[in-house]
Structure 1
Amino acid sequence: MAGGVNRKISAASARAHTRRAKQNSSFRLPSGMFRTTLVVLFMGFLAWAYQAIQPPPPKICGSPDGPPVTAPRIKLKDGRHLAYQEHGVPKENAQYKIVFVHGINSCRHNAVVAENLSPEIVEDLGIYIVSFDRPGYGESDPDPKRTAKSLALDIEELADELGLGSRFYVIGFSMGGQALWGCLKYIPHRLAGAALLAPVVNYWWTGIPANLSNEAYYKQFQQDQWAVRVSHYTPWLTYFWNTQKWFPASSVLAQSTDILSQQDKELLPKLFKGKPNMDQVKPQGDFESIHRDINIGFGTWEFGPLDLENPFPNNEASVHMWQGDDDNMVPVTLQRYIAQQLPWIRYHEIPGAGHLFPHADGLCDTIVKALLIDEK
């Protein structure tokens, strides 16, 4: 009796097992189809990743879908346009003619020297200043081939189109100050003098000892270390890195106040009082303005400042560098080293000053007088 029951149970179990096997086999993909599915998913991921890292095309000023052109502009030899703004006395009456180069996330309206120079000095010395939108900013056309050299040649062409004469002065602030190294390299014969105000430092410039570069590099916020590293080693990822939401991007681009010194924070109200809306700074998009800026600023240069020889061996012009010793954006240690290795630079270090020192009362008067008359 027990044997019969066991046989019935065994038969029922066998039938149940067969049913489960058939059910399971109905959900099993053939090996070829499984591989095809994986390939399709992987290709879909690659397509998504490619789209994610591609910056949108710029909205060119004056194009049918782009912002309007409201500023005076010159047309360069390659067909691009540079927008500019004039300050001070009329250039026909000027004794001194200055081209001002703005920093990152700024435009021609942010001519810090023109904004803060006293009217008395402007009139007494006869100072004319022209500020311009660097390529991709404001109403200047983007330059996908932009380099340190091309920007210097843009400045030379701007000066020629405006009739500034055979020699003119250049003043640059922050990333605009860094751009002046290109002027000293490629168009020194056109310069009557140069002033670099807190010029941004590239941690990969040749000639700077690795221990100094590393020390300065790791003093940055970790998010800024990553932003700079990405722009140097994988510039094609810069747009994605600074627009993704998983990790914090550059604190400078985010305009975080955490990176500011005490003096910088005190100067902020003055800074924002005359600052234009962001739609005037980068109406053509982020990539051809701020992202290309950091790719060039921290990319691989064909030269470094320490490769330069004195561009004015006969003292026909002077070069000044101004740096705050409490600047959290540009390391004073590297600036000191560069100035020590280039004795033809007249280095001015400002105690207690941060990155925004040109906005401090009276300091632009001091800077311009040193460049134009005090140290001739």
Structure 2
Amino acid sequence: MEAETGAAAEAGAAAEAVAGAAASDEAVQRDVVLADGRALRVYETDAGDGSRRFRLTVLWQHGSPQTGALLEPLVAAAALRGIRLVSYGRPSYGGSTPNPGRTVFSAAADVEQLADALALERFAVMGASGGGPHALACAAGMPERIVGVATLAGIAPSDAGGLDFFEGMADSSGLRAAQRGRDARQQYELTAEFDPSSFVDRDYAALNGSWASLGADVGRATADGPAGLGGLVDDDVAFAHAWGFDLSQVIAPVLLVQGGLDRVVPPTHAEWMLAHLPHAELWLRPLDGHISVLEACPVVMDWLLALGG
């Protein structure tokens, strides 16, 4: 999702000013080692000493590219609601080991092992932008453990029948390169440039205000330039090819939250998924773009609490 790469640059000094706010002081960081020897860098708002009781655990699937660190608006909203918030860096992001050739559905097996390590029996999943497909993958792969799913500005499958996948995107070049394979997507990244028309005014206001921590985190995720963007490249290749599961396998309730002015993931993607998920509802926010739609996160958490809290 190339537009998010440019977010840090567009946010500029505002993002840098809050560079330390992406992961709250309350968040605990640890590495979870998987059965194949890979490690996932995990963040959570529970110290693990049993001193706090939570109404619900929500696992956050970050956008592309980010480190997986917990962002301040999410931590604050979760704390007010008694939610245990967990996040992790997908392979090649933020200290997590690469997983060459991963698909979207690969996230389900990783999260299942993560959940076992943290003793999570049943929990909800939220995902934004590139995290949306991975949140749905968790529900498809662990139907007995996922109480509900919420996606914000989540992208639809690239092989979605009847959907013009690229229509309405300000810049689809990264995903088009990904369709040609990983080498092509990696080569594209060497000269990739952010298209500022991907974001609307509300997006820029969010990046310079309440969601400045997101811009700062994108800055950290992209600090090493193209050489350090393996996670983004692998995400895009996974999005541009078969996900490894069908939306009909997602039997948990799903909330799709979509900005009507989103030019990164157009509203038609949410509308298509609404028609193909067994138990879904759509909240359309007509004036929001790709970043400002995240302002809905607190009420999205309320929706998840009503399901499993």
What TM-score do you get using the length of structure 1 for normalisation? 0.66
1:220 and 2:169 aligned: yes
Cα distance between partner residues in 2 of 1:359 and 1:116: 13
1:373 and 2:306 aligned: yes
1:141 and 2:141 aligned: no
Query: What pairs up with 1:179-190 in 2 under 5 angstroms?
Result: 179-190=134-145
Cα distance between partner residues in 2 of 1:327 and 1:276: 21
Aligned CA distance change for structure 1 residues 375 and 141 (closer, same or farther; 3 Å): closer
Query: Shift in Å at residue 242 of structure 1?
Result: 1.7
Query: Shift in Å at residue 243 of structure 1?
Result: 0.5
Larger displacement relative to structure 2 (73-82 or 291-300): 291-300
C-alpha distance after superposition, 1:152-174 (max 9, x if no partner)? 1111111110112x211111111
2:41 to 68, 71, 83: 83
Query: What pairs up with 1:1-376 in 2 under 5 angstroms?
Result: 71-87=29-45, 92=50, 93-111=53-71, 114-117=74-77, 119-121=79-81, 126-164=82-120, 166-205=121-160, 208-209=161-162, 212-213=163-164, 217-221=166-170, 224-244=171-191, 249=192, 254-270=193-209, 271-273=211-213, 275-276=215-216, 280-281=220-221, 285-305=227-247, 308-309=248-249, 311-312=251-252, 318-342=253-277, 344-360=279-295, 363-373=296-306
Query: Shift in Å at residue 282 of structure 1?
Result: 5.1
Query: Shift in Å at residue 231 of structure 1?
Result: 0.6
Query: Shift in Å at residue 343 of structure 1?
Result: 5.0
Counterpart residue identity of residue 303, structure 2:
A
Consecutive unaligned residues in structure 2, runs of 5 or more: 1-27
C-alpha distance after superposition, 1:83-133 (max 9, x if no partner)? 111126868322211111101011222547624516432xxxx21101111
CA contact 1:167–1:191 (8 Å) conserved in 2? yes
Residue 228 of structure 1 aligns to a residue whose secondary structure is helix
Query: Shift in Å at residue 354 of structure 1?
Result: 1.0
Counterpart residue identity of residue 135, structure 1:
P
Aligned CA distance change for structure 1 residues 72 and 275 (closer, same or farther; 3 Å): farther
Cα distance between partner residues in 1 of 2:217 and 2:261: 28
Cα distance between partner residues in 1 of 2:174 and 2:78: 38
Q: RMSD of the alignment, in Å?
A: 2.7
Aligned CA distance change for structure 1 residues 91 and 131 (closer, same or farther; 3 Å): farther
Aligned CA distance change for structure 1 residues 347 and 90 (closer, same or farther; 3 Å): farther
Counterpart residue identity of residue 34, structure 2:
L
Aligned CA distance change for structure 1 residues 289 and 310 (closer, same or farther; 3 Å): closer
Aligned CA distance change for structure 1 residues 180 and 319 (closer, same or farther; 3 Å): same
Cα distance between partner residues in 2 of 1:337 and 1:196: 14
**Quick one: percent identity of the two aligned structures?**
25
Residue 127 of structure 2 aligns to a residue whose secondary structure is strand
Residue 237 of structure 2 aligns to a residue whose secondary structure is helix
CA contact 1:144–1:288 (8 Å) conserved in 2? no
Aligned CA distance change for structure 1 residues 332 and 89 (closer, same or farther; 3 Å): farther
Counterpart residue identity of residue 262, structure 1:
D
C-alpha distance after superposition, 1:146-191 (max 9, x if no partner)? 2222211111111110112x21111111101111221122111221
CA contact 1:172–1:195 (8 Å) conserved in 2? yes
Cα distance between partner residues in 1 of 2:91 and 2:72: 19
Aligned CA distance change for structure 1 residues 288 and 145 (closer, same or farther; 3 Å): same
Counterpart residue identity of residue 289, structure 1:
G
Consecutive unaligned residues in structure 1, runs of 5 or more: 1-69, 313-317
Q: Whose radius of gyration is greater, 1 or 2?
A: 1
Between structures 1 and 2, the one with greater helix share: 1
- Between the two structures, name the one with larger relative contact order (CA 8 Å, sep ≥ 6): 2
Cα distance between partner residues in 2 of 1:278 and 1:103: 9
Cα distance between partner residues in 1 of 2:58 and 2:65: 21
Cα distance between partner residues in 1 of 2:144 and 2:124: 11
Query: Shift in Å at residue 278 of structure 1?
Result: 5.5
Aligned CA distance change for structure 1 residues 182 and 106 (closer, same or farther; 3 Å): same
